[in-house]
Structure 1
Amino acid sequence: MIGLIKNEWLKLVKQRGTRVMIALLVLITCLFAGLMKYEESHQADSPTPGWQEKLQAENAAYKKELTEEQNLTEVRKDYLEGQININEYRLQHNLPVDTDMDMQSFVEGSSDLLSFAGLFVLIAAAGIVANEHTWGTIKLLLTRPVSRVKILFSKYAAVILFGLFLLAVAFTLSSLLGLVLFGASGSSIHLAYENGQVVEQSMIFHLLKVYVFKFVDVLMFATLAFMVSAVFRSSSLAIGLSSFLLFIGPTVTMLLSMRYEWTKYLLFANTDLLQFEEGRTLVSGMTMEFSLVVLAVYYAVFQILAFIVFSKRDVAA
């Protein structure tokens, strides 16, 4: 099995398109770093209010929302209470809020660029099975004394490894660029609100959690594209359909969530796990555990469809 995965990985990374996607991710990250540095240089002389006054104003706004807003979700209430307690903790322990750009804040901001990594992984997943049919190499591949399940699993594993590789590239490159351009003068502690109390966490742990949560989105769309590729044997259809859902699905889901509670069962309402960290769930009643269960169901359906169809299809036709 390890040999099969290694073979699929080598086939994937040797493709010119794969190298282009890696280069594009590096270029986009560098351009983003340059833009942030340019904006910082033009804001350096702008006066900023004291951090204590800023936190006190935030707490006043949060408390007003808690008392006056009648339709707050439990997640939103927990978020507001957490932010109030975190701000009070900062004031009591004299822990200023970092307002200047530093390595940590740049790395966290760069996590938004993982949407490009998601698109690249989607393209790889869409083609890794379908291209075998297009190139006519699927018959030769299946003549090997290996089960179809193992062959398909090795291809999927290669796609996931590619996604993890892009994740590592994005995190490492943004860390290096942030260190060089902005320095590491920021706080090494991240404050979180857990079980009714404020806890201090490592900033590295927090950043890794942000990237892992965003990778879940990448994983689900890659699995969807992989399923379409295996079922329909068309990389164009897999790329087109998955890309369409990637860009249109969240917007449509958000619009539907304003009127229908059943929206919480849709895939796109659950892929963004950071919504629970930021207190902005689409539908009332959603929790982290609920979304993980929904994602697990979709993931299982995608995989079952892909493996059943690939195992049963007559490729000689």
Structure 2
Amino acid sequence: MFNLFRNEWRKLWAKKSSWILLLIAAVISGLTAWGAKALNTSFTVGTNGAATGGSTGAIKAADAFSSIFSSGAAFVVIFAIVMTAIIITEEFAKNTIKILLTRPYSRHAILFSKLLASFAYLVVSLLTIYVVAALFTGAFFGFGGLDKVVGHGMNSWLYGLADVGVNVLSSMFYLSMVFVLAAGMRSQGLAITFSILMQLVLGIFSGLLDVLMTTKKWYWIKWNPFNLMAYNPLSSSQATGAAALNVWGWLIGLVIYIAIFYLIADYIFNRRDVSLS
């Protein structure tokens, strides 16, 4: 299994697109920092709960760090979806799946190694943007403000790492759904297009379910996967009462849904006719 993962990891980073997409996300973070400094913007970020208004440099630095990271992380998620779709569909598009199957590896192991590779790419990319955001924040606003407590008793450094963890879990839900789509497709273009459209459609669908939950009082809807994906345990602006989620419910629910979608993808991948590739 380790050899399979190492092979997938090397193939993923051998693609120029892996580096280019990560560079684009870093550039976007830099542009966010530059634009904020140029416009002297007072950041108002709903995710960290820090006070705003531009009264102190520390507040500006803390909010700037969160905004700079969020802007880059949003694109990292999209790019991770793209790379995940590519590493699955290319095996059939290039007929390399037949070569893989001649080796002593099962289809289960092959697909799981791709899951680990896409997961690792997501984590490494988010940590890279975390470092980039910290550097740009220090360059434009100073590093001193990052030591201030911004929420949940954490300073910006720790809060940013917690934000990375939240992004990883929420994004893994997206990636598990991409696995389902890509496992049955041969065209990389279609797989990428449908995967990105899926992210947009799910956001709209999640909003509609929230409206239905509050108007009809169907609070069991809060356990739908789209609501879990949108939930942020770091945010202070969450639903209350019967519609509220807690951290453990969110975590367990996401893991269950990720496992379900991955098993569906594994079923499709294992029953796909290789002779048609």
Larger radius of gyration: 1
Instruction: Give the CA deviation at 1:149.
Output: 1.7
Distance 2:99 2:4 in 1: 14
Instruction: Give the CA deviation at 1:100.
Output: 4.6
What's the secondary structure of 2:80's corresponding residue? helix
* Structure 2 residue aligned with 1:3: 3
Instruction: Give the CA deviation at 1:287.
Output: 2.5
Say whether the 8 Å CA contact 2:172–2:258 is kept in structure 1. Answer: no
- Cα deviation 1:250-279 (Å, max 9, x = unaligned): 223213312233532322211134256323
* Structure 2 residue aligned with 1:222: 175
Distance 1:233 1:266 in 2: 30
1:175 maps onto 2:134 in alignment: yes
Distance 1:215 1:178 in 2: 22
* Structure 2 residue aligned with 1:243: 196
Distance 2:78 2:151 in 1: 31
1:276–1:162 Cα change, 3 Å: closer
- Cα deviation 1:112-161 (Å, max 9, x = unaligned): 22111000000011111111111122111211122222211111111111
For residue 106 of structure 1, what is the amino acid of its counterpart? A
Q: Identity across aligned pairs (percent)?
A: 23
1:290–1:100 Cα change, 3 Å: closer
TM-score, normalised by the number of residues in structure 2 = 0.83
Say whether the 8 Å CA contact 1:276–1:288 is kept in structure 2. Answer: no
Distance 1:28 1:221 in 2: 22
TM-score, normalised by the number of residues in structure 1 = 0.74
Number of aligned pairs?
260
What's the secondary structure of 1:270's corresponding residue? helix
Q: Which moved more, 1:10-19 or 1:255-264?
A: 255-264
1:182–1:205 Cα change, 3 Å: same
* Structure 1 residue aligned with 2:226: 268
Instruction: Give the CA deviation at 1:98.
Output: 6.0
- Cα deviation 1:191-210 (Å, max 9, x = unaligned): 656xxxxxx43442222112
Gaps of 5+ in 1: 44-82, 88-95, 194-199
Gaps of 5+ in 2: 43-48
- Cα deviation 1:52-85 (Å, max 9, x = unaligned): xxxxxxxxxxxxxxxxxxxxxxxxxxxxxxx8xx
Distance 1:258 1:206 in 2: 30
